[in-house]
């Protein structure tokens, strides 16, 4: 019976430490999903997201002749806007591919690369920085 009680006490202590782990952070240091913000520095984020991908990117036109704006955030969230349609969800980078998982709809896979012109290429389509 003493071993069971020690196990329960130890589990309670571990749970408390895990729950309080985020306390004491400075305001604004969390990522969009509540996790720790990325430390400043060079290289990929904890999620494997290359820093050059993070930002907003715009095409000249899409199938509907409206600009398409893609936003990739360092916390793994993305947005895509085509005219009045807005798609949101999560994404991950695996080498030269991006896998998007929209909140609604089917996942999409894109081949990506950064061009020498500073633009992002998704499946060969050029997307330049959007401001």
Domain ranges of the chain: 51-129
Q: Which CATH class is domain 51-129?
A: mainly beta
> How far is residue 20's CA from residue 35's CA, in Å, rounded to a whole number?
13
Answer yes or no: pTM beyond 0.75: no
> How far is residue 40's CA from residue 96's CA, in Å, rounded to a whole number?
23
Model pLDDT for residues 59-106, shown as the tens digit of each residue: 865 555 677 899 999 999 999 998 889 999 999 999 999 999 999 999
Model pLDDT for residues 5-29, shown as the tens digit of each residue: 443 333 333 333 333 333 333 333 3
99's CB contacts (< 8 A; 6+ apart) are 91, 92, 93, 107, 108, 109
What pLDDT is attached to residue 60?
A: 64
């Amino acid at each position: 019976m003493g071993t069971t009680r020690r196990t329960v006490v130890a589990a309670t202590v571990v749970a408390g430490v895990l729950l309080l782990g985020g306390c004491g952070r400075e305001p604004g240091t969390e990522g969009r999903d509540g996790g720790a913000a990325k430390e400043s520095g060079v290289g990929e984020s904890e999620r494997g997201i290359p820093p050059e991908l993070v930002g907003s990117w715009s095409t000249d036109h899409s199938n509907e002749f409206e600009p398409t704006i893609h936003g990739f955030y360092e916390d793994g969230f993305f947005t895509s806007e085509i005219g009045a349609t807005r798609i949101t969800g999560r994404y991950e980078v695996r080498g030269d591919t991006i896998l998007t998982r929209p909140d609604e709809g089917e996942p999409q896979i894109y081949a990506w690369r950064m061009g020498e012109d500073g633009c992002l290429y998704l499946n060969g389509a050029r997307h330049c920085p959007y401001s």
